[in-house]
Amino acid sequence: MKLTQTLFCAAALAAAAFGQAKEKPPAGGPPKAFTIPARETFTLKNGMKVSLVPYGTMPVAALSARIAFGNANESASEVWLSDLMWALMKEGAGKRNGIQLAEEAARLGGQLNAGAGLDSSQAGIQVLSEFAPDAVRLLADVLRRPTFPASELERLRADLLRRLTVELAQPQPLADQAFAKALYGDHPYGRVYPTEANLKSYTLEQVRRHFQANLGARRTHLYVVGRFPASLKQAISAAFEDWAPGPEVVRHPPRTTARHQFVLVDRPGAEQSTLRIGLPIAASPTHADYIPMVVADNLLGGSFGSRITANIREQKGYTYSPYSAVAVNYHSAYWYENADVTTKVTADSIKEIYAEINRLRQEPPPEEELQGIRAYTAGLFVLRNSSPRGIINQLSFVDTQGLPDSYLNSYVQKVNAVTRSDVQRLAETYLDPAKLVVVVVGDKAAIEGSLKAYK
């Protein structure tokens, strides 16, 4: 048979197969209950909390100290001071310099990591089980006895200045900055980036004062998950029990009001527009609507099979990787949709996002669609709890938010209880198109005229 005939036959067979109805996969079984491994939690005399979780069969242990302070504890003139402080803390502690700290971590089978987050900071390492007590002592040095070597200050400051320059040259960080400012104003959550002048002004003495003002036993919770020797408990007490209690935990959750705002950040000549569309919502993790809202978001825009993704990616080809999420901080939450779209379809993309929100507000989703999203949400949660570090993240989440462990053990059950009417109600309650914040980073001259409806 000639090559052309072979290709023709293959194409004909493929076309015939494509025209046939797809065979449905077999129905899944009933959802299984999920239980997070039990933990032992105790408190040292100085107020430091410790949680130990035996988990898995691999001879490894993950250790992470979560400290209840972060960038949200910085003043307006101290943004990223915590980042500089943590970078310096890895450059020398106890009797070791930065190279020696890294070498010791490698000897234990891991790599030391430490840094600031918005509401909490962390220092941690994953090591071979037999070395877990040594890892505890290493973390104690870093947390309690940093040397803050003056010789490393300018190098680390230069790293942060370079990071600032690189990030603010990209549309996504510019959109994040404008969106945070619109949601939170002058609250620390609204301050994503420092000024260059502020970064250049930070002194070693300022870093030391920041450390003294924020680190201590009462703000620290040490998590250990994996396989570890029975002597670990004694090692933790010996390494930390004489640490000064330090400051109490201080939180300043924002007071937000959903209101429409439009922000256009000009990037002349940009071939794409970066969109951030969203608003603060009351469904924070302590609210009964939080888990159902995560399900609703995954259906709307938070999964690859979501409606917004199907609309502006698969059907229209406006963008490659849009996504949405219910983002949470301490006792606060917001919903947002992200997308990088071709400049000429900027307004059309926003229109379609609004249309999908309105469609969900007006009619409940089909049960078959919701069933798939429930399975996706439950499966993703279980996957996130399938490693020592994942379990630490989940336990730290419930502890930071003030939730009981039963929150994690009932999560899958609550996901599977979400109904079609729940999803519609949540969209009606929280996703009011008239109150959306719309941030666009793009070529102002090319797109401003088409965006008048969203100002």
For residue 142, give the H/E element and its range. helix 132-144
Q: Residue 260 carries which side chain, given as an amino acid letter? A: H
Helix axes 81-89 and 204-214, enclosed angle (nearest 10): 90
Q: What is the Cα–Cα distance from 364 to 371, expressed in whole angstroms?
A: 13
| Per-residue pLDDT tens over the stretch 369-391 | 999 999 999 999 999 999 999 99
Which residues of the chain form CATH 3.30.830.10? 40-240, 261-454
- Tokens encoding 144: 């309690």
pLDDT for 12 equals 42
pLDDT at 144 over 90: yes
pLDDT at 358 over 70: yes
| Per-residue pLDDT tens over the stretch 58-107 | 999 999 999 999 999 999 999 999 999 999 999 999 999 999 999 999 99
Q: Are 84 and 206 in contact (CB under 8 A)?
A: no
Question: How remote is the C-alpha of 226 from its chain's centroid?
Answer: 23
How far is CA 207 from each of CA 5, 137, 200, 211, rounded to the nearest angstrom?
A: 75, 23, 13, 6
The phi-psi region of residue 194 (left if phi > 0; otherwise alpha if psi is between -120 and 50; otherwise beta) is beta
**Kind of pairing, strands 437-442 and 261-266?**
parallel
How far is CA 149 from each of CA 81, 102, 152, 155, 179, rounded to the nearest angstrom?
A: 16, 15, 6, 11, 37
- Choosing among 3.30.450.20, 1.10.10.10, 3.40.50.880, 3.30.830.10, the CATH entry for 40-240 is 3.30.830.10
pLDDT for 26 equals 62
Q: What is the Cα–Cα distance from 372 to 270, expressed in whole angstroms?
A: 37
pLDDT for 36 equals 85
At 97 the three-state DSSP class reads: strand
Give the CATH architecture of domain 261-454: 2-Layer Sandwich (3.30)
pLDDT for 35 equals 85
Q: What is the Cα–Cα distance from 384 to 390, expressed in whole angstroms?
A: 5
Output 250-257 pairs: Cβ under 8 A, ≥24 positions apart: 250/69, 250/73, 251/68, 251/119, 251/330, 251/331, 252/72, 252/187, 252/188, 253/329, 253/330, 253/331, 253/332, 254/184, 254/187, 254/189, 254/329, 254/332, 256/183, 256/184, 256/280, 256/332, 256/334
Which residue, among 285, 296, 308, has the nearest Cα to 354 in the 3D structure?
308
Neighbours of 386 (CB within 10 A): 10
- Tokens encoding 386: 């399938």
DSSP-derived letter for residue 146 is B
**Mean pLDDT for the stretch of residues 193-216:** 97
Q: What is the Cα–Cα distance from 180 to 189, expressed in whole angstroms?
A: 7
pLDDT at 16 over 70: no
Helix axes 132-144 and 232-240, enclosed angle (nearest 10): 10
